Structure 1
Amino acid sequence: MNNSTKNYINIVFGVIFLILVIVTVVTSNIKDTEGPVIKYDKKAITYKKGDDEKILIDGVTATDVKDKDVTDTIIIDSIIPSNDGKKAIVVYAAKDKSNNITKVQRVVSYKGSDKDSDEDTILDGKPVIKLKQEKVTISKGSSFQPLNYVEKIVDDKDEDLSRSISIDGYYDVNTSGVYQLYYYVVDSDKNISDSKLLVLTVE
């Protein structure tokens, strides 16, 4: 093997080595922007409000391309009951070491608390309207959106009665005082719910 051949081989190996070094450096500096993948088994789950949320996490895993198993980062971001109270959307969240967060949703069977069940019972076909709270205090001149205080409406036929909400009562956000607002809803069969009282105090 003459010197020119040896020099050629050395140059080739040198170029290959340099390419490998560049690839390694570039790869190590690429920012991780991909979140983990969350998976869960298909077994049926019934969750009752107030129960230990661990039953919702059993069988749920999270893996990341870079960090591998990140199951221990899984949390339940939220539990959102459906309007009929029979199902709920469970939102899971997990993150990797680069703080990339992934969220997925899962539908489970749902049961409210005994108190919720009593309040949501439909009698004689009448819809049920429920408020988030019974009393509200605001400063004079501030904004007040009465529909924001409706938590949910339950009906045996109509799924969405949000546009059928009526509010009886008068209030003036620019005048101090105590105002009584009565909320009720009418379904497509003209059944009228029992009214719910919201006491608004303007200070």
Structure 2
Amino acid sequence: MKWNVVLYGLLFSGLGVFSYLLLANYSELPPQVSDILYSKGAFIFFISAFNILGYSTLRLSSWLNNQYALNLRKRWKIITIYIAVTLLFYLLNYSLLIIGKLLVGSYNIFIFPNGGWRILILVWLVELVIVGLLLSNRSIQNTLKLQQEAAELQKENNTARYAALQNQLNPHFLFNSLNTLIAEIEYNPSNAVRFTKHL
């Protein structure tokens, strides 16, 4: 479990570094904005923001699996929440660029000239693929765990049924039943036939 936390942290930090490098280098921002984006604080902020959003997504995914995985009528809520999470990833990238422009005091903070939007969308799509693969992997692991638990419960059920069958065939029970059958054969043969059928 601790290794998963470390691996997830590395994955989200890697996503943050990837986004940082692409957005800072290829968005064709004014030089003042690029200087702010190249600072150590902006780099740490990118990594921290991606880790917070990534771990929040994992927590949300676990909560959704527990709440709605078996309830077929409310599965639309899962889709709605995942769409909201994808939009949050996009807004994170977009807002980081806007914050850089605001810190410099640049005009037209919502406009990214010369292909800046293409880079922003490319980064977002790569993030969605990686996070989607991570969430599907966790979902498959959860399904396998549930199947193993179901197999163990089935095994316990079979063991209990076998023990109950053994108790019914226990020699003392069989001896008493045969004595009752012998007594019924002597005194009431029709009851003996019914007893034998039920035995």
Instruction: Give the structure-2-normalised TM-score.
Output: 0.24
Larger Cα-atom Rg: 2
Question: Higher relative contact order at CA 8 Å, sep ≥6: structure 1 or structure 2?
Answer: 2
> By percentage of residues, which structure has more strand?
1
